[in-house]
Every structure is written in C-alpha cells, then in structure tokens.
Structure 1
Amino acid sequence: MRLKPYNLKIKTGGPLVAILHEDTAHQFDLHVGDRVKLNCDRTEIICSLDVTKNGFPKGRIGLFTEAYNALNIDKGDRVEVSPAEKPESLLFIRKKLDGKALDEREINEIIKNIVHGELSPVEMTYFVSGCYANGLNDAETTALTRAIVNNGKKLTFKKGTVVADKHCIGGVPGNRVTPIVIPIVVAAGILMPKTSSRAITSPAGTADAIETVCNVTVNAQRLRKIADTVGGFMVWGGGVDLAAADDKLIKIRHPMSLDPEGMLLASIMAKKHSVGSNIVIIDIPVGKTVKIPDAKSAQHLKKRFITIGKMLGMKVQVIITDGSQPIGAGIGPFLEMIDVMDVLQNTPGAPEDLRAKSVMEAGILLEMAGKAAKGKGRAMAEQLLVSGAAWKKFQQIVRAQGKKRPPKMARYQEPIVSIHDGVVLEIHNKLIAHMARIAGAPTDPASGLVIVKKVGDKVKKGEPLFIVHSNSKDRIAYTLEFASKQNGYTIGKNKVAVVKAKTPKVKPKAEQKKKSSKK
C-alpha cells in the first residue's frame, strides 16, 4: 500500500518507528511491534510499527523524526508500506544467549542491523545481555570492533602515517589529561585525531570540558581538513558518526550499568580504529572507588587490550595508574578546562598531579612514535610544554574547530570545611563525582567542585576541603545538605569531615575570581 507520510516531529532517540491508525493497520493485518518495510523513491528502511485509535487520520503513515529523515521525503512523495521479515541477526542473538561463540559474519550482521535501525531496543538489550552473561572471546571482540568500524564512518590517512591516540578507562574525577597530551604530541609533529565522549554518569566527559572553549561537533569532511592543516583535533565522537553502532549499544548498556568486558574493549578499540590510530596508550586507573578496583583486574584487562590491538594491527601500550583520588583541582566541564589551560600556559599553581600525568603519557606516545629515544620521551614532552609550543598548538586546534567564549564562573561558591585537625587519609571518588553532579555538572558547565585538599595534605579545623560551584541556589543547597552527611573525605583516624547545610549567599565577583584562582 502507498500512503501519504506525516512527520510527527517527535524523536525516538534512535529506533526507526512508524505509526498507523488501527483501522489502516487491521486492513493489512499489521499489529503493534510488527516490522514494516518503507520505500520512498528507492530509499528503503525497516521500521517498528505502533498503532493508535485516536489523534491520527486513517490512510496515512506517521513517521517519527529518525524514520522521516532516513527516507529523505520530498513534498508530494508517497511511502510504499509492506510487511518485513524478521532479520537473521535475531538467530545469532539467540545463539549468544545460549552461550555459543559467534563468528565474524554473524557479529557483523547484528551490528549492521543495529546501525540501520532494524533491531528494537529490546532486541539490542538481549544482545548486550548475551555478551554480559556469556562473555566475548578475543576473536569475537576483534570481530565486534571491526564490525562497529566497518558499519560507520571512518577516517583514513596515507599509508605509513603514524597516528596516535589515547584512552582512559575512567572513574577518576578531573583527570583531564587528553586536552594537554594532544597539543604536546601534535606540536612534536605527530598526527593525533582524537574523538572523545560526553558524560554519562560522570560530572564531565572530555568533550564536555573541551566544548567550553571550542566547538566539538564537527563533520568528518571538516575533521579531515583540520587533521591535514593543524595535525590533530579533539571532538565529540557522537557528532561525527564514527563507530555509530557503539553509541547505540552504550545507550542500551547505560540504564543497568552493564559493561560486558568484550563489549567495553570493542567500544574503546573501535573508536581508535575508526580514526586510523596505529599507536595507542590505554590508561587503567586502579582504586577502591573507580571502575577497576585491584591490580589483578587491571593486569587482566591490560593483556586483553594488547592482544586485541595486535589482532587489529595496532601497537598498544597500557599503563596502570593511581586511581585513589581526583586528579587536578576542577571537577566539572569548565573548572576542569581551567586546570588544562593553567597547565598548558605554565601558570604558577597549576595542578602538579595533572601536569605530571599529562607529561608522562605524552612522553610515552613520543617514544612509541619514534620521535624520542626510549626513556627520553618525558623530557621532550616537558620541553614542548615549558617552551609554549603545546599552548600555541592548543590555540591552533581551538581556532580550527571554532573558538567559543568560555562561560562565566558560577554565581554561587561555598566551601566544605573540615571540622577538626588532621591529615587527609582517603577521598571517595564516586561521592566527589556525585556532589559535582548535584551542583549542576555537566549540564551547567560552570558548576562542580574545586578540590583544595588531596590525600596526604594536612588540614586544620575550618579549612576548606573543596569548594562547591553552582549557578543554582537550590542545587548548591542540595549539595551542602548531601555533604553534611557524607562528603567523601576521611580525615585523621577514619573520621569523616562534615559540614552543616546552610543557605548559600551570592559571592561578589572579585571574591569569585580570587577563589577560583586558588585551585
């Protein structure tokens, strides 16, 4: 049947969905949840069908935004509607649920159907569940990585070009190493096209932080030009459609916090493979309150990363780092970017832990790329930073992507103080991250926390442990209330510093700037 299309102007968030009036659906023996094939001027898609009695005319087909855009409909077009068979990939998903290994063709078929919107969220959830319950071996993980890359856009560079990349498993608040490493490495003449993620459960993703100073949503054609002229970029991966299937799988995994190991490995390696990376450093922070709690788990992941990298033709070096506390001072998009710019400009008082880790990682990449002799990479990275070459390159990248005016400092700033003298014994990363989100990060880029005291620091009664930044009276009050019960700091002999909740006051702008400079 040929029906007049109607743009519902409602997004589903991914799946391709169409809607028919109940009488029209019954006329052609179609039911809720059926797959329908839609064809419009040689463009064909598969949609999931919804049916309604009210508010929609008979004899028309309603299309949610994703389906309407996929069909490239022009004025006056009609859409051919017919039943569609279930995809073969459902058999492969069932096979994985039964605990059997999948081959490369089967995995590619699943990913192809995901990218084309031919699997429903429920069906994708079963695939994730099968991988979570039964795992993915190295061959499956490599096949999944290739399938994600091959079913999305990718960047390619001249054969023999060294292309550097890095990734951190995550879980450490702050830790905004990437925007420092990239300009150091690129300033040395190494190509580094970096795509990064936005925050899902953290106070800031790398893309969120960088977006406070420049555009991070850049199309693939422009990215290639930036890479050729500047030598690197730092953009949001979701805005480029690189590894598109991975973004859809992450949405499925997120609500239940499911991170099947093989899927996690494939997700990371696909992002690297899609931009042509051939030398990669992987950072695995270890600590009680991060994703990887112990050295044994970290060593296991390290071996798998190196193995998968070899199978993909990538040289991978894995570093296991200290994840026991936040790195840097700022926690939240703009507050983290202030740290980054302070380090790049060699500002006195810039966070030394962030600086040291950035120089170390950049040094490793310089050695892997053959720009520095073994053991000499750190010194070369240090020189590129101190000389101002890295800051100059950072500015070039920012201008190429589209420079933005940074946000103003948050209107409200309140300290969380220690209630007794002592030494900081522990900082709970998850609680710190949670409070930064309560304050408004990452939605409000100026909100978050500024860490004042780190593990090992002496603290006196009444001294600030960290400062809460927010543009909302309500949010800063909620954060203070939460911190009065548990703020993540263990002081002295296992005593937790607390603060009584109080009504926030607006700080004068001069005082705001003074506090923010004391990161």
Structure 2
Amino acid sequence: MSASHSLIAMEMGIDTHQEPVVFMRADCEVCRAEGFNANTRIQVGLENRTIIATLNVVTEKVLPPDHIGFSRIAWQRMALEGGERVQISHAPLLHSMSAVRKKIYGHTLSSREIHDIVADIAAHRYSDMQIASFITAGVDCLNTQEIIALTQAMVASGKRLTWPDTLQLVDKHCIGGVPGNRTTPIVVAIASAAGLVMPKTSSRAITSPSGTADTMEVLTTVRLSLEQIQQTVRKVNACLAWGGAVNLSPADDMLIRIEHALDIDGVGQLVASVLSKKLAAGSTHALIDIPVGPTAKVRSQHEARHLAGLFDTVGQALGLKMRCLITNGDEAIGYGIGPAQEAQDILAVLNNEPGAPADLRERALFLAANLLNLAGGASLEVAQARAQELLASGQAWEQFKRICDAQGGLKTIPQAAHQLELGARHSGTLLAMDNRRLSRLAKLAGAPISPAAGLRLHIKLGQALAQDQPLLTLYADSRGELDYAAAYYANNHDMFMVGEAS
C-alpha cells in the first residue's frame, strides 16, 4: 500500500464496547481517495496485525491532520502505543453476507454457509449491525439441521478442552429467567464429591442480576486458563470457572452480546449457544434445567416441551447424552438475588444451616440426583439418597472448599455499604411474584456490576404476611443506586401479588 494510504494512529479514549471504531477527518486525503463515508467498513493494518473497523467521520476540531483515531477496543486489538503509521484500505468483501441475506428472505442455509458466517463473526469481520441482521434473520426460523450446523460452527470458532477419550464428563445448564436460581455450585460440589468429573464453565450475567460466574467470583477466582481448568479438574474432579476467559465458543459470546442489546433470544440460537459450550468443554453428558412460569423465560409447558425436544435432538446428534428437566419457575429460588446474596445462599445450603433456603436445597438435590442417574448408572432413587447423603454429611461442603482452594482459595463475601428494608403495602397471602421485575430491582441496586448489591427476600409464595411486614431488603454500594431501586419498587410494588388464598 502506498504511503498516501497511511495515517498516524491516535487513541481517542472512546468506549465503543466490543465493536472496533476508527475516526477520520472529513477532509482526510485517504477518505477522499478511497471514497470512505461514515459507517464504511475499513481494514487497518500494521506489520502482521490487522482489524476490520467501522469508520466514523469527524470534524477537523477532533483530530489533527494526517491522523486516524481509534476507539478503546480497536486500540487494544491493534496493540498500539501511539504515533505508529498504520495502513488503511477497504475491508475485504464479506461473501458470507450473501448467506445472511438468503436467510433474511426465508431460505434454508447449508452447513457450509453457516460455518462461513460464524467463522467471519469469530474473526471480527462483522459489524454489530451485520451480526444483528444474522440474529434477527434466524429468530425461530432455524430448522434442526441448521441448529446442528450452528452448534458445530460455534464450537469450531474457538478453543476446546481436551480430555482422555475414556473420561466421562458431565455438565448442567439452566435456561434462566428465574432470579436466585444458583443451583450450579451446589450441584457441582455434590456430583464431583460422588466421583463424577465436572469441568463447569459458566457465563456472567447477560440480562440477569447475576450469572454463575459472577456469584462464584464472590467466593473464589473464576478467571482460569485452559491449563488451570485442566489442572484443577485433575486435582479435585471439578472446577467452577468463567467460560469467557478461555475463548470457548467465542462466536457465541459475540452473538449473545448483540442478542442482549436487541432483547432477542431465539430458540434455535439458544440451543446452539448452550450446547456449543458443553461440547467445547468436552462434556459427554448434559443436564438441562428448563424452569417454566408466568414471568420466567419459558412461559408454558408446550414451549418447554418443544425446547426440551430440540435440546435432545441436537445434543444426541452431536454425541451428547442428554436429559432435560422441566421445573417450576413461578418464583425466585432462594432468598438472595445478586452475586453476594446468592453466594450466601449457596454457603448456607452447603453448610446445612437451619435457615438455608429449602427450595434452593431441594432443587439442587433434584438436579444432582438426575445427574448421578444420567451419568453414574444408579437408579434415580439410589441417586437421590446418595445426593442427600453427600450434602447432609458435609462431604459436598468439603468438596466445594477443595474446588475453591484449587482455584485460589475461598474468599470473604463482600458487604454492601447501604441497605433498605421494604415492607408489604397490606396484609394477606403472597400469591405471586414477578421474576422479571424482581431481577430489574436487583439490577437497579447495582447488581451484578457491584457484587455486594442486590436484594434479599424475606417471604415465599403461599406465606401469610401482615401490613408493613418486611418483604425484602435492598443492598447497594451507593446511596444513589439504593434510592433509584427504592423508587422503582415504589412504582412497581405490584411485583408482589398479595391477596386472599383460595
């Protein structure tokens, strides 16, 4: 490339999240020579490093002449120091976008077309807008073969954990939509104490007040390398790590980021997302928990059965031994919502504390027993007794501590700087609660960004309460967030339905 098509790199300090953006002056000679306009996709290179970025055009007041500005993520990916002269050109033509357009018009994609799309997404060749077009084109429009191909393509886009061929590895996943449902750490402790091997990689919160990785990070180190995961599993039969740190199915992480912004969660993409992570982790057996409730992610038994059928079909086609369980999603599970509050519930259950949330304990035991039955060969009745024994005897707690020690040690749970108790507006029986608005309330208090933030429930469905009796306590690290959450509750107190029991 000629010298006239190079510019001096300058860091702008602008956060564009995960989409690389570069900035050029409207009077820039390179802009005029190449015909660049705002939103043009351009390629920026320096030695053996290149990125594809979206162009924003600025006035001469923003950039000096002969300079190109970089957003934070663009600067990081190029590993620049400042002052380098980088090469500028049009981005290569994206042939896979023709397949996206094909899907937009309702046609079926081949496995090759899906693999090409996912490979380009994983290589950061797609803009956020282009990723969004692929997501929306496929919402509930993917057939089984397309879902299988999408799952395989997602696995191929990243790294994989490798284990001896004879090793049986188990995993579980909850579809979500029920706040506080933090069964995974308890299930991992029970299952691995029973001798199963469970290299559990979990996600951070997408739309919830806490993901398993967020909650576990309150208790131990979750940012582990692939080698550290394997070392931990070899040592204690299990791990509880953040999957985002090890580049397992990175294309899926990129799709999730855009799905979050669009508030879209297509069934086919959901199945591919979950199973790609299981396959990338090397799992041979997978247990899927599908909570159903009026304000959960899955709202009806019909929808749950359809989803379970897809998981079974796709999972088995890809060599996984599957089991899907449809569970009750009418209310929050446990008392705590938010990383620190959920961590307290986990420890209470593992330590068999008298005040531990019974619903969290029973659901974790139910899931653990099914996992032991699925992978261990014991009858479900025997598996249930074994799971209960491991928890009641303290063996699961000892195993959990071993896992945490192997990952860097058990931490002290942080405490929020501010708290506020909120009471019932009138007496009666708690008939229902809105999971979505409860999650929103915890997020407004600061969860999961502030690990100590969130809320703690003081009552469960079916319980009687008096006027002004505490319903929940809000926790926040700033007075502003506490007040913000309290104001939301004041305008949405009907998230708790109180009335006369029938």
TM-score (ref. length: structure 1): 0.89
Q: Per the alignment, do residues 257 and 229 of structure 1 end up closer, same or farther by CA in structure 2, a change over 3 Å counting?
A: same
In the alignment, the residues of structure 2 paired with residue 237 and residue 405 of structure 1 have an alpha-carbon distance, to the nearest angstrom, of: 20
Aligned to 2:475: 469
Aligned to 1:6: 9
- Displacement of 1:117 in angstroms is 1.2
2:414 touches 2:451 (CA, 8 Å); kept in 1?
no
2:421 touches 2:472 (CA, 8 Å); kept in 1?
yes
Asked if 1:99 is matched to 2:102, the reply is no
In the alignment, the residues of structure 1 paired with residue 462 and residue 95 of structure 2 have an alpha-carbon distance, to the nearest angstrom, of: 58
Asked if 1:126 is matched to 2:130, the reply is no
Paired AA for residue 366 in structure 1 = L
Aligned to 2:34: 29
- Displacement of 1:214 in angstroms is 1.4
Which of 470, 481, 497 is equivalent to 1:490?
497
Query: Which region of structure 1 is more displaced relative to structure 2, 159-168 or 369-378?
Result: 369-378
Q: Deviations over 1:134-168 (max 9, x none)?
A: 61011111111111110112211111211111111
In the alignment, the residues of structure 1 paired with residue 444 and residue 32 of structure 2 have an alpha-carbon distance, to the nearest angstrom, of: 52
Aligned to 1:517: none
Q: Per the alignment, do residues 370 and 47 of structure 1 end up closer, same or farther by CA in structure 2, a change over 3 Å counting?
A: same
2:158 touches 2:248 (CA, 8 Å); kept in 1?
yes
Q: Per the alignment, do residues 30 and 301 of structure 1 end up closer, same or farther by CA in structure 2, a change over 3 Å counting?
A: same
Which of 347, 350, 353 is equivalent to 1:347?
353
- Displacement of 1:76 in angstroms is 8.8
Aligned to 1:189: 195
- Displacement of 1:42 in angstroms is 3.4
Give the 3-state SS of the residue equivalent to 1:375 in structure 2.
helix
What is the 5 A alignment of 1:208-357?
208-357=214-363
Aligned to 2:155: 149
2:24 touches 2:56 (CA, 8 Å); kept in 1?
yes
Q: Per the alignment, do residues 483 and 40 of structure 1 end up closer, same or farther by CA in structure 2, a change over 3 Å counting?
A: closer
- Displacement of 1:416 in angstroms is 2.5
Q: Per the alignment, do residues 52 and 314 of structure 1 end up closer, same or farther by CA in structure 2, a change over 3 Å counting?
A: same
In the alignment, the residues of structure 2 paired with residue 297 and residue 44 of structure 1 have an alpha-carbon distance, to the nearest angstrom, of: 44
Cα RMSD (Å) = 2.3
Asked if 1:87 is matched to 2:91, the reply is no
In the alignment, the residues of structure 2 paired with residue 473 and residue 38 of structure 1 have an alpha-carbon distance, to the nearest angstrom, of: 44
Query: Which region of structure 1 is more displaced relative to structure 2, 366-375 or 255-264?
Result: 366-375
Aligned to 1:110: 117
Q: After the TM superposition, list the runs of 4 or more consecutive aligned residues in structure 1 that deviate by more than 4 angstroms.
A: 71-78
Query: Which region of structure 1 is more displaced relative to structure 2, 466-475 or 233-242?
Result: 466-475
Q: Deviations over 1:79-125 (max 9, x none)?
A: 44333332101101100001001111111111111111111111111
Q: Per the alignment, do residues 202 and 44 of structure 1 end up closer, same or farther by CA in structure 2, a change over 3 Å counting?
A: closer
In the alignment, the residues of structure 2 paired with residue 38 and residue 331 of structure 1 have an alpha-carbon distance, to the nearest angstrom, of: 44
2:168 touches 2:284 (CA, 8 Å); kept in 1?
yes
In the alignment, the residues of structure 1 paired with residue 130 and residue 270 of structure 2 have an alpha-carbon distance, to the nearest angstrom, of: 19
In the alignment, the residues of structure 2 paired with residue 41 and residue 441 of structure 1 have an alpha-carbon distance, to the nearest angstrom, of: 42
In the alignment, the residues of structure 1 paired with residue 8 and residue 413 of structure 2 have an alpha-carbon distance, to the nearest angstrom, of: 43
Which of 20, 40, 46 is equivalent to 1:16?
20
Q: Per the alignment, do residues 27 and 325 of structure 1 end up closer, same or farther by CA in structure 2, a change over 3 Å counting?
A: closer
Give the 3-state SS of the residue equivalent to 2:179 in structure 1.
coil
Query: Which region of structure 1 is more displaced relative to structure 2, 416-425 or 164-173?
Result: 416-425
Query: Which region of structure 1 is more displaced relative to structure 2, 157-166 or 363-372?
Result: 363-372
Q: Per the alignment, do residues 476 and 15 of structure 1 end up closer, same or farther by CA in structure 2, a change over 3 Å counting?
A: closer
2:444 touches 2:481 (CA, 8 Å); kept in 1?
yes
In the alignment, the residues of structure 1 paired with residue 45 and residue 429 of structure 2 have an alpha-carbon distance, to the nearest angstrom, of: 68
- Displacement of 1:48 in angstroms is 3.2
Aligned to 1:508: none
Q: Which runs of 5+ in 2 are unaligned?
A: none
Q: Deviations over 1:413-454 (max 9, x none)?
A: 333223444322112212222222222222222222211111
Which of 358, 363, 366 is equivalent to 2:364?
358
TM-score (ref. length: structure 2): 0.92
Aligned to 1:140: 146
What is the 5 A alignment of 1:165-184?
165-184=171-190
- Displacement of 1:470 in angstroms is 2.8
Query: Which region of structure 1 is more displaced relative to structure 2, 193-202 or 183-192?
Result: 193-202
Query: Which region of structure 1 is more displaced relative to structure 2, 359-368 or 383-392?
Result: 383-392
In the alignment, the residues of structure 1 paired with residue 347 and residue 477 of structure 2 have an alpha-carbon distance, to the nearest angstrom, of: 22
Q: Which runs of 5+ in 1 are unaligned?
A: 496-519
In the alignment, the residues of structure 1 paired with residue 126 and residue 194 of structure 2 have an alpha-carbon distance, to the nearest angstrom, of: 45
Aligned to 1:513: none
1:172 touches 1:285 (CA, 8 Å); kept in 2?
yes
Give the 3-state SS of the residue equivalent to 2:55 in structure 1.
strand
Q: Deviations over 1:300-335 (max 9, x none)?
A: 111111001011110110000010111111111101
Give the 3-state SS of the residue equivalent to 1:406 in structure 2.
coil
Aligned to 1:503: none
In the alignment, the residues of structure 1 paired with residue 501 and residue 104 of structure 2 have an alpha-carbon distance, to the nearest angstrom, of: 46
Query: Which region of structure 1 is more displaced relative to structure 2, 254-263 or 70-79?
Result: 70-79
Paired AA for residue 451 in structure 1 = L
Query: Which region of structure 1 is more displaced relative to structure 2, 167-176 or 437-446?
Result: 437-446
In the alignment, the residues of structure 2 paired with residue 428 and residue 479 of structure 1 have an alpha-carbon distance, to the nearest angstrom, of: 15
Paired AA for residue 344 in structure 2 = I
In the alignment, the residues of structure 2 paired with residue 190 and residue 262 of structure 1 have an alpha-carbon distance, to the nearest angstrom, of: 30
In the alignment, the residues of structure 2 paired with residue 123 and residue 393 of structure 1 have an alpha-carbon distance, to the nearest angstrom, of: 45
Paired AA for residue 90 in structure 1 = M
1:7 touches 1:65 (CA, 8 Å); kept in 2?
no
- Displacement of 1:403 in angstroms is 3.1
Q: Per the alignment, do residues 38 and 491 of structure 1 end up closer, same or farther by CA in structure 2, a change over 3 Å counting?
A: closer
